[in-house]
Chains A and B, each alone.
Chain A
């Protein structure tokens, strides 16, 4: 418990660091939001007016300090382009991304574990080759491609699932598969190799020697130990799910966090981009924390000092 609290406290400097980095990077890259907003025709007077209105005339450190103080109060500023508070936009978009990521994770973990276990048990036999081929495809095919393929096949040809998201959960199935396939591949591969290694351990021989049935050995003794690295990876995959969501959300028109981020980049919408990056950072840190906690739960030998 103490460790968890300690980890949470140590998040603060990380977050400040991330904020500072994004803040600086966004101001170093060329292209300024004012000229993008004004389009082709603008006078210096108009640029100045708008710069003032957007508080961009203040010194950089002052902008940063006021931004940071606001952030700790939960105020991430107002999006330049959408004219809405960033926190509100994130709150509106997050449930979409969350549902998508959750479904993707469920698919990834379920499929990945089943495929990995089957492949390990049937090592070098047909199911092994089959599942590993599937997972290799998952790891190697870019999400963009698999998303288009799924759309083409299931929505355009077979017309059994919606082409784009309309808020219903049915319309989330294809994006969740597209997003989860990649993770499923990694989970399957990791589960397989970890389980194969564990199955060679001495205590497995002992268990077999006791006369236990094969399923009991695999599920009762081997799997628990084999899953340790897999669990870590699954929690860490939250970050890859979030980044994959950027592409998936675009292809399937899901109005989530990833879309906010791409839009913010296209429009040089600094408050919105800072906000989405900060938010994603928090999610990833929490994911890591969950991984650590789960780890010590599964393996009691890893206590919390």
Chain B
């Protein structure tokens, strides 16, 4: 017995020591290589890496394709061996690269897939719809049939061409995939609902004409459809790849094939992800030869990594605003700050169904009482743009003509209240969501003070999230602050949600009363002529917000990034997402 114990003790100690030594031994050798790898050497490695990636991709295909792949890969690899690796950080790892299965992991899909159309962000902050792999398109006079012509030089990163059949397979999968989360804005395609209901397995409204021509027919006219096609939701996949990869699609790099400027070569869970140039990309090759993402769960670590030169673009959303102000909003970084509009409108909803706010003068008084610029300056450091209507600054539909009419005027507001017979004010509840964002919570505080200033006895009532939602949906919430971020770059997205029908305006606790206007909102979707359509949306905006004072429009905020010295130029995502296409980055 004594003997056994001794042996056991020896074994236990031995294994412990061995383990410790193994750990330390590794530290010596690996540590050296890690430290002895200066940036130039890392750069020299990138050429073979790109090569390997292309070969791997090509290996999936026939042997005949291989020479071509190698040739292109050689082109893609930077000849000068310069360090062109773009290093980015995430606060948490992505869950999938398959956009049909996620509503927020858009960074990789934006880089490795193409869309039929894209939204271009102009220097002045405005946005417009441009062609991408769709070379041309036309819309039938009834606004129902969209005919597309694809570019004929688009290839996936495995060398196979992208054809109409791939587009069809992508759109069909959006509805047939059991756990698809991306059906909201595309169910307008004819036959989509039938698939979702289990009554069909092919998409009736999609007609392939030949390899580069196809038509999509809608259930009813929807002019915002083109903008929907430009969202990450509508990334185009490879039919052959989808069939071959099955559930590995979006999860395994080698089995996730796209036609975008980059292809994914490596993904380590919770650690890192690597993109390299797609050798077959149809456009100009991307400036950065590789993109390395690393996960930094802790914001201060992320910040130090940027300061240490280990990260090239810092997303200030990850940092505490006091750090952004003290470190980056300084002279040292004034040329390094990149700001982009977030396409979302903050607003204060006023319930026209509740006394005394059913009186338009009271609603106008509330509009005039809120010090919007004050809120923007004090809470958001002034980084945003006032919005006087519905559509956020920078979006399609935003017009300069509808801006500038709403001024902060507490005296005027008091006069209006007096005129309406409320010179002694009234009690008003501002409803707050306990789990809502801190931005909204801060806004509410100021609004309460502003309303008190004109004599309204406003008080904040806080609800837990589900009660708050239930009250709002019942149409009985008197006043609250909110934000709507565009799902796709079209005015219909926001105006329909709030003013599209009696049901939707009640669900938003607005209780907008004018049914004629709501009918116009609905029919505006069918206007095929773009100029006419945008004019109608601008008119509706003026009517609803300026004349009927349905809500207090606040502002659209900006998203701030800091770039390192290695970056020449950076165009963020048009909607102000933290996720962006690295194609928009030019390295020095």
Contact = CB atoms under 8 A, between A and B. Distances in A.
B184 A41 contact: yes
Contact of A300 (B2, B4, B196, B295): B2
A296 B178 contact: no
Contact of B12 (A49, A173, A252, A293): A293
Interface string A19-63: 000000000000000000111011101100110111000000000
A121 interface: no
A92 B270 CA distance: 10
Interface stretch (B302-310, B544-552, B569-577): B302-310
A81 B9 contact: no
A99 B294 contact: no
A253 B181 contact: no
B307 A84 contact: no
Contact of B294 (A84, A253, A290): A253
A168 B184 CA distance: 45
A52 B196 CA distance: 14
B95 A169 contact: no
A168 B34 contact: yes
A106 interface: yes
B308 A159 contact: yes
Contacts, number: 146
Nearest to B185: A41
Contacts of B250: 83
A296 B295 CA distance: 45
A294 B9 contact: yes
Interface stretch (A68-76, A150-158, A184-192, A196-204): A150-158
Interface string B3-34: 01110110010000001100110111011111
B124 interface: no
B516 to A, nearest CB: 28
A303 B305 CA distance: 54
A284 interface: no
A163 B298 CA distance: 12
B246 to A, nearest CB: 12
A156 B303 CA distance: 11
Nearest to B187: A43
Contacts of B487: 41
Interface in B333-380: none
B179 interface: yes
B40 interface: no
A53 B2 CA distance: 57
B269 A92 contact: yes
Contacts of B196: 45, 49
Nearest to A89: B269
Interface residues of A, number: 64
B270 A263 contact: yes
A141 B81 CA distance: 47
A173 B271 contact: no
B371 to A, nearest CB: 29
Contact of A255 (B28, B179, B271): B271
Interface string A79-117: 001111000010011000001001101100000000000
A297 B10 CA distance: 10
B206 interface: no
A32 to B, nearest CB: 11
Interface string A285-296: 000001001101
Contact of A166 (B19, B34, B300): B34
A38 B103 contact: yes
Given A159-B308, A170-B35, A259 B297 contact: yes
B247 interface: yes
A163 B270 contact: no
Contacts of B92: 263, 266
Nearest to B25: A169
Given A255-B269, A294-B9, A168 B33 contact: yes
A177 to B, nearest CB: 12
A296 B269 contact: no
A293 to B, nearest CB: 7
A251 interface: yes
Given A156-B308, A168-B33, A169-B27, A151 B183 contact: no
A47 to B, nearest CB: 11
Given A41-B184, A89-B269, A169 B2 contact: no
Nearest to A148: B300
B274 to A, nearest CB: 13
A281 interface: no
A232 interface: no
B308 A155 contact: yes
B27 A50 contact: no
Given A39-B103, A46-B181, A172-B27, 19 more contacts: A37-B181, A38-B103, A52-B178, A53-B179, A83-B95, A83-B250, A93-B270, A106-B20, A151-B300, A151-B301, A152-B304, A156-B308, A164-B305, A167-B271, A169-B26, A173-B27, A255-B295, A263-B93, A290-B12
Counting from the closest, the 8 A-B pairs by CB-CB distance are: A170-B31, A169-B27, A255-B270, A168-B34, A255-B271, A39-B103, A297-B9, A169-B26
17 contacts: A83-B247, A89-B269, A93-B269, A102-B20, A152-B304, A155-B308, A169-B31, A170-B32, A170-B35, A171-B34, A172-B23, A251-B297, A251-B300, A253-B295, A253-B298, A255-B268, A259-B297
Interface of A: 1, 37-39, 41-43, 45-46, 49-50, 52-54, 81-84, 89, 92-93, 99, 102-103, 105-106, 148, 151-152, 155-156, 159, 162-173, 249-253, 255, 259-260, 262-263, 266-267, 290, 293-294, 296-298, 300, 303
